[in-house]
């Protein structure tokens, strides 16, 4: 048998290399068990992640959808709402979380108990919390207006019947719900700062505001930036706060990009337009994700 026939009978070198890389150091039955465990997860990923994403991109790929979408006055107000939602919801929430993380660094058992109470809004399920806020803001017999009348004899406004007060209620609800979570993240970052650095700063007189500006915040800056990027990405997809607090009302004036797609797809029975509305956020989401991945890859979170 000559060398040509042997070469024909053997797989190509690149196939052998690919097979070795896929197998790693596994042989025989180990490789079989590895495949048996991986296949179900791969099937779930393809079915519930890859396929919906690809199908959604296909549904929103028709260029004629976007002139129709941009001409919709509800969509135009939705873009303004989304910008305000992001600007206030993210920055106010992260600033409060930064301040509160310093507050909860104080020693004492009472501080631990207070932290436990503070975390409760985040621990409560979102839907029930936001539905409760919706009914608390009812203009006729909501808890807030009843409390104002009972304590101060003031007739409260119809909070959810005005665009700006309803949008403010949505933003406040989101901040109330998620500030505890980011406070815990930044608190963990503060606690990870070595005691030697803090003690040296105290000896050098870097206490209070000076210590925060020159020691604490520079060490937390990367963590704070990454948390802000993640919070922005999460908030862009936040559906629950708007839907269950204001319902997008009054008159579709408080929708954000995460809810306008549901309105177009189901209320207007135009699923392709709904997907296009959601996809219009991609020019903002993709750069945020790229910046986040680059930050995580090239920069260590200094703690």
Give the pLDDT score at 303. 44
Contact yes or no for 155/149 (Cβ under 8 A):
yes
Give the Å distances, CA to CA, from 74 to 64, 257, 271. Answer: 18, 11, 16
pLDDT digits (tens, 9 = 90+) for 97-142: 999 999 998 888 888 899 999 999 999 999 999 999 999 998 888 8
Give the pLDDT score at 173. 96
Residues whose CB is less than 8 angstroms from the CB of residue 226 and which lie 6 or more positions away in sequence, other chains included? 292, 295, 296, 301
Give the Å distances, CA to CA, from 101 to 63, 108, 182, 217, 266. Answer: 47, 15, 9, 12, 42
Least confident of 6-20, 77-91, 191-205, 226-240: 6-20
CA-based nearest residue to 236, from 180, 186, 288: 288
Check whether the bond before 249 is cis (ω within 30° of 0). no
pLDDT digits (tens, 9 = 90+) for 162-201: 999 999 999 999 999 999 999 999 999 988 888 777 767 6
Distance (Å, rounded) from C-alpha 83 to C-alpha 89?
10
* Most confident stretch, 164-173, 190-199, 261-270, 286-295: 164-173
Distance (Å, rounded) from C-alpha 123 to C-alpha 120?
5
Distance (Å, rounded) from C-alpha 260 to C-alpha 174?
18
What percentage of residues in the chain have a pLDDT greater than 90? 49
Contact yes or no for 126/177 (Cβ under 8 A):
yes
Query: pTM of this prediction?
Result: 0.83
CA-based nearest residue to 228, from 185, 194, 274: 185
């Amino acid at each position: 048998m000559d060398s040509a026939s042997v070469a024909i009978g053997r797989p190509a070198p690149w196939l052998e290399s690919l097979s070795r890389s896929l197998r790693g150091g596994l042989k025989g039955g180990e490789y079989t068990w590895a495949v048996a465990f991986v296949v179900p997860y791969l099937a779930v990923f393809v079915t519930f992640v890859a396929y919906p994403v690809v199908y959604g991109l296909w549904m929103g790929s028709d260029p004629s959808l976007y002139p129709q979408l941009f001409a919709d006055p509800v969509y135009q107000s939705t873009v303004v709402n989304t910008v305000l939602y992001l600007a206030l919801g993210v920055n106010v929430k992260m600033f409060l979380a930064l301040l509160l993380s310093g507050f909860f660094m104080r020693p004492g058992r009472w501080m631990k108990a207070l932290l436990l109470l503070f975390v409760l809004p985040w621990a409560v399920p979102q839907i029930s919390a936001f539905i409760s806020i919706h009914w608390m803001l009812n203009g006729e017999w909501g808890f807030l207006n009843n409390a104002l009348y009972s304590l101060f004899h003031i007739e409260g406004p119809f909070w959810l019947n005005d665009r700006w007060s309803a949008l403010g209620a949505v933003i406040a609800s989101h901040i109330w719900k998620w500030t505890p979570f980011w406070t815990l993240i930044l608190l963990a970052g503060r606690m990870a700062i070595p005691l030697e650095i803090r003690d040296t700063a105290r000896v050098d007189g870097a206490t209070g505001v000076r210590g925060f500006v020159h020691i604490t915040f520079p060490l937390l800056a990367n963590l704070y930036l990454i948390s802000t990027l993640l919070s922005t990405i999460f908030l862009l997809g936040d559906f629950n706060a708007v839907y269950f607090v204001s319902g997008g009302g009054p008159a579709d004036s408080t929708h954000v990009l995460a809810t306008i797609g549901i309105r177009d797809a189901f209320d207007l029975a135009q699923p392709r337009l709904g997907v296009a509305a959601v996809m219009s956020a991609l020019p903002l989401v993709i750069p945020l994700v790229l910046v986040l991945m680059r930050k995580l890859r090239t920069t260590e979170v200094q703690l």
